[in-house]
Structure formats: structure tokens, C-alpha cells
Amino acid sequence: MRNDATSPPRIVVTVQSPERAQNEEIAWRKNDRYFEGVRRAGGEPMAIDETTPMAERAAAFAEMDGLLLSGGADLAPAYYGEMPHPTTVVEPERDRLEEAAFRAAEARGVPVFGICRGMQAINVFRGGSLVQDVDGHTSPAYPAPEAHAHPMTIEAGSRLAEILGTSAASVNTYHHQAVRAENLGSGLRVAGTSPHDEGDIVEAVEDARRDRWVIGVQSHPERTEFTPLEFEKLWRAFVEQAARFAANGREGSA
């Protein structure tokens, strides 16, 4: 933790390495959207990816006031004891990076915000599993200016409902894997759902404890061009919690 109360909270953002991406320019643009979200809310993003040296990773995990797990490729199904579906595309080095980042955040009580893959990672690293392929939940590829949308029902009494101040929202459709309630990881609760022909999809998860700030959303709130304005409150709540963690200098700040 830092003693300078005027410094913005440091948010580690795990991203795909642009140099290893199929399209480096698009990868940079995607990553920048996460950094912009953190900065808009008053945080200082610290980017790490699978090419970041181990010593730098360790320093970042020790210094971070918040952890943002961003979107990207699928997590390896071996984490939850399954063989990969034909549509599953994995990045094992990123899996290992993000598991280490999440374990460090859990050990220190650092606030965690997961987006799409990041929400799925939270669930898997807490011992849950995923549905590897869900029909009808994709959109035109980035950087197309439009996206499909679907309704999300927000659970009454959840932290997410308190933050967004609403019981429902229209969210962008940008995933082919999902969590279902019966696949939920340890210590998590469902914070949002959407209907699907094969059973409701979990659109948001959060820690069941009130003194642990962990929230994941399946949609992409960094894509502000088609995200409800209410989700800016979620960015702010995350960074404010990270600032509180930094100021308090203790684990488990609520």
C-alpha cells in the first residue's frame, strides 16, 4: 500500500498481449478500452499480460489496490475437469497469469472486477465451471460499431443492484461461454441473469459476503457506445473501493 493519499488507486488490468494477438492493432484498441474505463473512474491502470516478467508481476500484485480481469479467449476447461468443446479457444499462459493475479487479490483482500472472460475466470478460480458453448450470444466482431443486446434481470438485494440503482438492464451480447447457477463457484452469489432456451444464463456474480468486494459481469461495459449509462456507476464503485482499500491499508475493506 502507498502512503500518498492523493495518488489514484493502482488497478492491475490483465489483458491479452497485443504482440501475440492475431491482429495487434485491434488488441491494442480493445485493451485501451479497459484502461479508459479505469481512468474515467479515477484509477491508474497497470497493464500486465502473459509476456510480463515474473518479477514485474509479483511487484504489481504486491502494489495493486484493485484487480480488473478483462475479456478475451476461453479458459482452459481442464480447470473444471472437462475436455474442450470444438469452439473453445484457450490461452494457457494467460490462464496461469490471471489465476496468480486472482489468488494474490484474494490473499490480500483486494477488490476484483471481472468482465466477460474475467467474470468466468472468477467463477472457475472459485471452483465453478462453464457452459462451453451457448447459442445466440455473439455479436459482430470488434471494432464493429454495433452489437446485439439482450435483457438482464438484476437480483434484488445484490450489491450490483445497489450500485446500478436498477432491477433490469439491456446488455451487449459478446460471449459464447457462460455460467449457470448450478455451476457457481464457492462463495459466489448470482447478481444478474438473462433468459435462454436452454436455461437462464448468469449475467453477473458477486461475493456472497458483504465485506468482500468481488463483482463480475458477462457483458462488456468498457464498450460505452452500447452500454447503459448506469454501468459507469459500476466502474466508479470499483475504483472507489480500490481507493478505500489503499487508504485503509488493510485486508477485507468493505
pTM over 0.85: yes
Catalytic residue among 98, 106, 222, 240: 222
Per-residue pLDDT of the chain (254 residues; tens, 9 = 90+): 454 567 999 999 999 999 888 889 989 999 999 999 999 999 999 999 999 999 999 999 999 999 999 999 999 999 999 999 998 889 999 999 999 999 999 999 999 999 999 999 999 999 999 999 887 656 566 677 677 888 999 999 999 999 999 999 999 877 788 999 999 999 999 999 998 777 799 999 999 999 999 999 999 999 999 899 999 999 999 999 999 999 987 444 44
Q: What are phi and psi of 234, to 5 degrees?
A: -70, -45
Q: Which three cell numbers stand for residue 167?
A: 432491477
pLDDT at 134: 84
Catalytic residue among 98, 116, 137, 175: 116
CA angle in degrees (0–180, nearest 5) for 202-196-200 = 35
Residue 167 contacts by C-beta under 8 Å, 6 or more apart in sequence? 153, 154, 156, 161
Q: Does residue 220 have an active-site annotation?
A: yes
Q: Does residue 175 have an active-site annotation?
A: no
pLDDT at 108: 97
Q: Does residue 85 have an active-site annotation?
A: no
**Is 168 strand, coil or helix?**
strand
pLDDT at 3: 45
Q: What domains, with CATH codes, occur in the chain?
A: 10-248 (3.40.50.880)
pLDDT at 228: 92
pLDDT at 138: 67
Q: Which three cell numbers stand for residue 34?
A: 479497459
Catalytic residue among 50, 98, 220, 240: 220
